[in-house]
Copies of this chain bind each other. A is one copy, B any other.
């Protein structure tokens, strides 16, 4: 074996700009998308350097001084965000070169993805000119970067606390949705990169980078197309050898492929080939954005599973039956508990309308003591590898008249579950069934937060938990 021919480019500088200029900001107040959106997002997350705006006529927008041209800015500019129309990009690029800018992020769309040959040619010549001048480009047609530690955000509402999940995404919207869905699960990001058409920097560059990045422990990706297949394959293999990797590959159908082509000029390629690549690279391929968040949650909190045998604990006969079906369908097992485990459970469980065989369907967990006395024997049982505790908020037979001391009750539950996870050395995960009213959602979020702060993975349905845990087992099998 020889060493790989391609040297990993060090992209570190891209993620730490000291100053940013934004071209193409509307002078209208509350322009929420485009240039104005980036201004607001950077202000919201508290970007620490100066933000310079470029506008042909306005003296200032949102309190920030405007410059007629990038060249008029006296200070150094590390990073430029372009929201100008496509035809103005070549001029802006010349300004970037003159100004010795390091990175040009093209939010600007209207290039190869339009299907127009002239526009594709324009994209190519922009890339050639930037490379010649040593400027790296993100995009075009993308939302750019979310880097909490550098206080860079691509959208509103992105939290400033950094985490350990790095994301590579061909869609800004899906990157944003990933970040948003991850928040209530306790999953935070190191770097999120929306790279759109990937004219200069491509998925492979970012996989390479995240594989080496010390701040990134888990890598997830949303890909629409394959650019430079062999290089991407090499980068995913490198990432997969170092860190857990989960990838959502879209455009897998004819219509999806057409949409991907319109969206980011991507050629979707064969899903079979991509699945083969993931298998070989030790990466997990998922089918939805929700599953991608579930995998990040699972890699972060569950980490490892000894085997497929799950004990399911919660109230409700119907929910228990469906849970067993969901787990089995995902490839996990719900073995009958051993006589000694059942004997331990029989001591705390009321006789009628319940089961202690597995799933454990019981209403006898109201106080701390019986909660623990029910869950601990399950977690420590020799034929069990993980425990799933399931519950609902704001529904079920207890209905809206559930105990008013919700917060303190579930706080004790979260603590109790975390203790059992620690003592047993086996994963304990929590399924919180769908909450449908604002009040119930607020309660569910509060409980979720107690759980993840105690180190527990949470899932919004049994089926999603089942698939994530089964994928973790599959990942362990694939791991190089």
Q: Which residue of B lies closest to A443 (CB)?
A: B438
A155 at the interface (CB under 8 A from B): yes
| B321 adjacent to A177 (CB under 8 Å) | no
| B109 adjacent to A352 (CB under 8 Å) | yes
Which of B155, B324, B352 meets A259, CB within 8 Å? B324
| B436 adjacent to A399 (CB under 8 Å) | no
User: Closest approach, in angstroms, between the C-beta of A247 and any C-beta of chain B?
Assistant: 14
| B171 adjacent to A321 (CB under 8 Å) | yes
Interface centre among A259, A289, A321, by most chain B C-beta atoms within 10 angstroms, is: A321
- Decide: A317 near B397, CB < 8 A? Known: A252-B325, A253-B329, A359-B259: no
Q: Which residue of B lies closest to A225 (CB)?
A: B321
Cβ contacts under 8 Å, A318 to chain B? 169-175, 177, 222, 224, 250, 263
| B358 adjacent to A173 (CB under 8 Å) | no
A262 at the interface (CB under 8 A from B): yes
A274 at the interface (CB under 8 A from B): no
Interface string of A302-322 (1 = CB under 8 A from B): 000000000000001111111
Interface string of A323-363 (1 = CB under 8 A from B): 11111110001111000000000000001110101110101
| B184 adjacent to A436 (CB under 8 Å) | yes
Interface residues on A, range: 35 or more
Q: Which residue of B lies closest to A33 (CB)?
A: B397
A183 at the interface (CB under 8 A from B): yes
- Complex interface residues of chain A between 383 and 400 (CB less than 8 A to chain B): 392, 395-400
| A353 adjacent to B32 (CB under 8 Å) | no
Complex Cα–Cα for A400 and B437 (A):
19
| B224 adjacent to A258 (CB under 8 Å) | no
| B325 adjacent to A251 (CB under 8 Å) | yes
Interface centre among A143, A351, A358, by most chain B C-beta atoms within 10 angstroms, is: A351
A180 at the interface (CB under 8 A from B): yes
A19 at the interface (CB under 8 A from B): no
A365 at the interface (CB under 8 A from B): no
A58 at the interface (CB under 8 A from B): no
Complex Cα–Cα for A457 and B348 (A):
45
Cβ contacts under 8 Å, A461 to chain B? 290
A114 at the interface (CB under 8 A from B): yes
Q: State the copy count for this chain.
A: 2
A371 at the interface (CB under 8 A from B): no
Q: Which residue of B lies closest to A266 (CB)?
A: B321
Interface string of A356-384 (1 = CB under 8 A from B): 01110101000000000000000000000
User: Closest approach, in angstroms, between the C-beta of A331 and any C-beta of chain B?
Assistant: 11
Complex Cα–Cα for A317 and B110 (A):
13
Q: Which residue of B lies closest to A434 (CB)?
A: B181
A425 at the interface (CB under 8 A from B): no
A401 at the interface (CB under 8 A from B): yes
Complex Cα–Cα for A254 and B169 (A):
40
| A173 adjacent to B327 (CB under 8 Å) | no
Complex Cα–Cα for A221 and B210 (A):
49
- Decide: A334 near B397, CB < 8 A? Known: A262-B355, A363-B33: no
User: Closest approach, in angstroms, between the C-beta of A160 and any C-beta of chain B?
Assistant: 15
| B399 adjacent to A157 (CB under 8 Å) | yes
Q: Which residue of B lies closest to A250 (CB)?
A: B321
Question: 10 shortest A-B CB distances, which residue pairs?
Answer: A171-B318, A156-B399, A109-B353, A253-B328, A110-B352, A262-B355, A255-B334, A263-B317, A174-B318, A255-B324
20 other A-B residue contacts (CB within 8 Å) besides A157-B400, A180-B436, A256-B325: A32-B399, A41-B399, A85-B352, A86-B352, A113-B353, A141-B352, A155-B397, A155-B399, A157-B395, A171-B317, A172-B397, A173-B396, A176-B396, A177-B318, A177-B396, A184-B436, A222-B318, A288-B326, A436-B445, A441-B441
16 interchain pairs, CB-CB under 8 A = A32-B401, A33-B397, A110-B353, A114-B352, A141-B352, A157-B395, A170-B318, A177-B433, A180-B436, A253-B324, A255-B324, A255-B333, A259-B320, A259-B323, A259-B355, A290-B461
